[in-house]
Amino acid sequence: MATDRVRIALQKKGRMANDSLSLLKSCGLHIDNSKDDLFCRIRELPIDLLMIRDDDIPGFVGGGICDLGIVGENVFAEKKASCGKDAFDACVLERLGFSPCRLSIAVPEGGEIGRIDDLDGKTLATSYPALLHAYLKSRGIRATTLLMRGSVEVAPRLKIADAICDIVASGATLEANDLRELTVVLKSEALLIRSKRTLPEEKEAVIKRLLARMRGVLQACDSKYIMMNAPRAAIERIAALLPGCDSPTIMDLNRNDMVAIHAVCKEAIFWETVETLEKAGASAILVLPIEKMAA
């Protein structure tokens, strides 16, 4: 893998990997896989991808092996907490929004632990000891941490822990193990992280281009193009109802006192939004997706 090319560390498998590759492809990039599926090359830009374990990504970026990385906030925050923020040589470049989850403390249903203070003196199994320790310390709770690298949710059933602190997405795994969420320690999403080290100008230029494309794709995902007809007298009222819209485009129609309103809405448009617009006088409302946006 050439050192003059930007190197990005990605999770090698799982939902985060799929979402990360989907984002890159949406940026107009084609990915050529290698025989061992460890290295991949981007055709359009001088970028190489390194496919590794998710918990190795912060270290690879912080250590200068890779220039960028896409990793879950839970993994990044745990690495930062375990190293100390001043000793960790990586930072967040962009919040990507996909792969949402949360790091939560969960306890057995119907058990003796009903609130946070009840954890005092208990044992908690987790794969995130640094984050859990910091959370408990901030609340003055003294508890024992049992480090587990997998199947954390079975610890209470095996009687080796009173509670767990683990990643929750849908909550189905907790329910299957007769556990309930007690509190959320950290809300997580995918992050684009970068090395704090000074990079050559050529690499910085590539990163700037990639980041602009990513931001355009991410902004387009949440944005919609909306068109409607309305009485001229209702323009101001309707414009105030458009979510995340700075200034709509107004065009005269070949009908007395009627205009067409076109706008880019940078926030979600729900059925309730459409119904509210109709009550304000809008008609023939059309909501369209946006594929790409440039600032």
What would the pLDDT profile of 69-94 be if each residue is shown by its tens digit? 999 999 999 998 888 666 678 899 99
What is the arithmetic mean of pLDDT over 250-273? 86
Q: Which fold has domain 6-98+190-220?
A: D-Maltodextrin-Binding Protein; domain 2 (3.40.190)
What is the arithmetic mean of pLDDT over 129-158? 92
Position 2 confidence tier, pLDDT thresholds 50, 70, 90: low
Q: In the predicted model, is pLDDT for residue 39 greater than 90?
A: no
CATH 1.10.10.10 is right for the domain spanning 224-289: no
CATH fold match for the domains 6-98+190-220 and 101-188: yes
pLDDT digits (tens, 9 = 90+) for 240-257: 888 877 789 999 998 778
Instruction: Give me the pLDDT at residue 104, please.
Output: 95
Question: Distance between CA atoms of 8 and 194, rounded to whole angstroms?
Answer: 9
Max CA distance (Å), the chain: 76
Position 273 confidence tier, pLDDT thresholds 50, 70, 90: confident
Q: In the predicted model, is pLDDT for residue 66 greater than 70?
A: yes
Question: Distance between CA atoms of 86 and 279, rounded to whole angstroms?
Answer: 55
Q: Which CATH class is domain 101-188?
A: alpha beta
Amino acid identity of residue 276, one-letter, is T
Indicate the SS3 state at residue 292.
coil
Q: In the predicted model, is pLDDT for residue 119 greater than 90?
A: yes
Inter-residue long-range contacts of 132-140, CB under 8 Å, 24+ positions, other chains counted? 132/105, 132/165, 132/185, 134/81, 135/105, 135/165, 135/185
Residue 170 or residue 259, greater confidence: 259
| CA neighbor of 57 nearest in space, from 36, 41, 72, 35 | 72
- The domain ranges of the chain are 6-98+190-220, 101-188, 224-289
